[in-house]
Amino acid sequence: MKKIVVIGEGHFGTAIATVLAHNGYEVTLWCYEAEIANMINQGHSNSKYFPDIKLNKNIKATNNLLDAIKDSEYIFVAIPVKFLRLVIEKLKPDIKSTQVIVCLSKGIEQDTLLFPTQIVQEILPNTQIAVISGPSFAKELVEQKLTGVNLATQVEGHYSNLQATLKNDYVKIKKTKDLLGLEICGALKNVLTIGIGIAQGAHFADNTIAYLFTKCLAEMGLLLHALGGQKETAYDLAGVGDLVLCAFGKSSRNLWFGQEIGKGKKLDDILKNNVTVEGLNTLQSVKQLSTKLNINLPFCNAVYNIVFEDGNIDSILKGL
Same domain, 55 and 193: no
| Ramachandran assignment for 73, one of left (phi > 0), alpha (psi -120 to 50 degrees), beta (any other) | alpha
202 and 153 within one domain: no
Q: How confident is the model over 276-283, as a mean pLDDT?
A: 90
Do 148 and 269 lie in one domain? The reply is no
**DSSP H helical ranges for 202-228:** 206-227
Considering the domain architecture, whether residues 169 and 185 belong to the same structural domain is answered as no
On whether both 238 and 258 belong to a single domain, the answer is yes
* Same domain, yes or no: 168 and 233: no
DSSP secondary-structure letter at 3? -
100 and 150 share a domain? Answer: yes
Task: Give the confidence band of 1 by pLDDT, cuts at 50, 70, 90.
Answer: low
Cα angle vertex 140, ends 136, 146, to 5°? 75
Let me know whether 301 and 202 are in one domain: yes
Report which DSSP code applies to 54: B
Report the alpha-carbon angle 108-297-103, nearest 5: 25
- Select from 118, 148, 175 the last residue of a domain: 175
| Confidence class for position 259, pLDDT limits 50, 70, 90 | very high
Judge residue 71's burial from the number of C-beta atoms within 10 Å of its C-beta, 0-12 exposed, 13-18 middle, 19 or more buried: exposed
Asked if residue 130 and residue 189 are part of one domain, the reply reads no
Chain-wide mean pLDDT for the chain? Answer: 94
Question: Are 8 and 135 part of one and the same domain?
Answer: yes
Q: Last residue of some domain: 122, 145, 175? A: 175
Domain that includes residue 48, residue range:
4-175
Q: Indicate which residues carry an active-site annotation.
A: 189
Output the domain CATH number for residue 308. Answer: 1.10.1040.10
Cross-sheet strand order for the sheet of 128-133: 59-62, 27-30, 4-7, 74-77, 100-103, 128-133, 147-153, 171-175
CATH value at residue 137: 3.40.50.720
Q: What is the structure's pLDDT at 105?
A: 96
Residue 165 has pLDDT above 80, yes or no: yes
Q: What is the pLDDT of residues 10-43, one digit of tens each?
A: 999 999 999 999 999 999 999 999 999 999 999 9
**What CA–CA distance (Å, rounded) separates 163 from 129?**
14
pLDDT digits (tens, 9 = 90+) for 295-318: 999 999 999 999 999 999 988 888
For 298, residues 6+ apart whose C-beta sits below 8 A from its C-beta are 215, 219, 320
Given 143, 175, 207, the domain boundary residue is 175
Q: Which burial class, exposed, middle or buried, applies to 269 when counting CB atoms under 10 A from its CB (0-12, 13-18, 19+)?
A: exposed
Question: Are residue 18 and residue 151 in the same domain, yes or no?
Answer: yes
Is it the case that residue 3 has pLDDT exceeding 90? no
Same domain? 23 vs 162: yes
The number of domains in the chain is: 2
Bridge-based pairing of strands 100-103 and 4-7 is unpaired
